[in-house]
Homo-oligomer: A and B are copies of this chain.
């Protein structure tokens, strides 16, 4: 062990404290960053070395490093190690009682306003039909008046749930009763409610690589989450079987972030898994299915299932705007009964105003028109991006995946370099991209000679893409 690490490692962990060891370790490392013992860009000891030195398990160190990476105190270089984030000091404050609190650090991609960010979050808000929305909003203000102030039913306004059911039938061929639909303040909120409904003592399986925030939410709600590796087409079935999970969160329409669509036979296998035990559930996150560019949408797991074991989930954040905070889940009937018995004391978390306005937006066909326009726009952007990539001097080393739907592409690069090399090279050109490894629950070493980059293009104009 290097000498300078020894200085750093005057860390005392108390196994008898009610605070978990990894949290104690996080706290100690934050303190070392705060007092300058650990410098920006300094490499941390490997998990093995630190775990031996502190006499804790490698999992403890790994968990602490990941937690600090999530918090942006550290950053990970796949297959190399963890480093102190250059901006970590901005996070470290010990405020006096009335002092200001450090605001959560904005994601790195928004730091420089002139850079071109292939971000996977957010949508192009310029496309949002604001004048239509504002017109409907004004109508709602005039027409509903007092009705706006009365709370809606716990599941959400019935007219809204009817409109969503009609949309799901027309668009997804799903036969759903409005009583099965729960409207809530975004899928983040709804995931928490699902944990309360299904129970936090279960083990939840999640896709790896996958939607990291989903795992965070499940964990913050007290659930134990196991990241199950993806193969070409979906969750590795054997690993799912062995995981001991009784709930699995999946994105079959357009896997995040790889963009693959789960083939029918794999959907059948997943349904076999869920129906093999009476108390298993699938959470089918159908985000981005509205933005399907090629061929016909496959039926949802919800529609294919005969056993009432699939919970369908979707959001208007990607198709309309994130700031509306409206998502919904379709509960299988028996879970809808359990929700009514156990959780319907909760008031609906979406204000009546948004519910009424969205109802009109759906009823009047505005949503359908908006989707068609968006599909055209995004398909064009995707085509331009693919054309640019194909005309690149190294195009024979590039493989484009996940172009059938959604708002990001996966780019496989066959060059003797790591994702971090590519990210750094892009950064020097003022372009921000993300590497696939950062979507793994535990940073993963990909096969040699193959690096994967995620390109989210929803918020970039054609001009930005071609530059």
Question: Which of A99, A101, A200 has the most chain B CB atoms closer than 10 A to its own CB?
Answer: A101
User: Which A residues from 315 to 334 make CB contacts under 8 A with B?
Assistant: 321-326, 332-334
Contact of A221 among B71, B95, B221, B322 (CB under 8 A): B221
Contacts A/B (CB < 8 Å), 13 sampled = A71-B341, A96-B333, A98-B176, A99-B333, A101-B177, A104-B154, A104-B340, A138-B141, A151-B322, A151-B323, A188-B349, A220-B343, A325-B351
Further pairs besides A213-B345, A220-B343: 14, Cβ < 8 Å: A70-B345, A91-B341, A93-B337, A97-B306, A99-B333, A101-B180, A101-B336, A103-B153, A104-B344, A134-B142, A134-B145, A138-B138, A196-B221, A324-B352
Asked if A366 is at the interface of the complex by the 8 Å CB criterion, the answer is: no
Q: Secondary structure at chain A's binding surface: helix, strand, loop or mixed? A: loop
CA gap between A176 and B101 in the complex, in Å:
11
Q: Hey, what's the 0/1 contact readout for A116-141 against B, CB within 8 Å counting as 1? A: 00000000011010100010011001
A222 at interface by CB-CB < 8 Å: yes
**Please, how many angstroms separate the alpha-carbon atoms of A308 and B222 in the complex?**
26
Q: Let me know if A259 is at the binding interface, CB within 8 A.
A: no
In whole angstroms, how far apart are the Cα atoms of A18 and B97 in the complex?
Answer: 46
Q: How far is the CB of A109 from chain B (nearest CB, A)?
A: 14
- A373: min CB distance to chain B, Å: 16
Is A36 part of the binding interface, using a Cβ–Cβ cutoff of 8 Å?
A: no
Size bin of chain A's contact surface: 35 or more
> Interface 1/0s, chain A 157-200, versus B by CB < 8 A?
00000000000000000011101100001101100100010001
Chain B residues, CB < 8 A from A189 = 185, 189, 349
Q: In the complex, which of the residues B152, B179, B186, B279 contacts A101, with contact meaning CB atoms closer than 8 Å?
A: B179
Is A149 interfacial (CB-CB < 8 Å)? yes
Chain A residues within 8 Å of B, Cβ to Cβ: 18, 70-71, 91, 93, 95-104, 125-126, 128, 130, 134, 137-138, 141-142, 145-146, 148-155, 175-177, 179-180, 185-186, 188-189, 192, 196, 200-201, 213, 216-217, 220-222, 279, 306, 308, 321-326, 332-334, 336-337, 340-354
The residue that A99 contacts in the complex, of B138, B177, B323, B345, with Cβ under 8 A, is: B177
Contact B128 A149 (CB under 8 A): yes
Determine the chain B residues whose CB is within 8 A of the CB of A325 once the complex forms: 185, 347-351
Residues of chain B contacted by A353 (CB below 8 angstroms): 137, 323, 353-354
Taking a contact as CB atoms closer than 8 A, the residue among B179, B192, B216, B351 that contacts A192 in the complex is B192
Distance A201 CA – B98 CA, assembled complex (angstroms): 29
Q: Are B346 and A323 in contact (CB under 8 A)?
A: no
Question: B323 near A149 (CB under 8 angstroms)?
Answer: yes
Chain B residues whose CB sits within 8 angstroms of the CB of A323 once the complex forms:
148-152, 351-353
Distance (whole angstroms) from the CB of A29 to the closest CB of chain B? 12
Min CB–CB distance A381 → chain B (angstroms): 19
Q: B residues within 8 A CB of A99? A: 177, 333
* Distance (whole angstroms) from the CB of A218 to the closest CB of chain B: 11
* Docked-complex contact B220 and A196, CB < 8 angstroms: yes
Assess the A95–B333 pair: CB atoms within 8 A: yes
Chain B neighbourhood of A148, CB < 8 A:
130, 321, 323
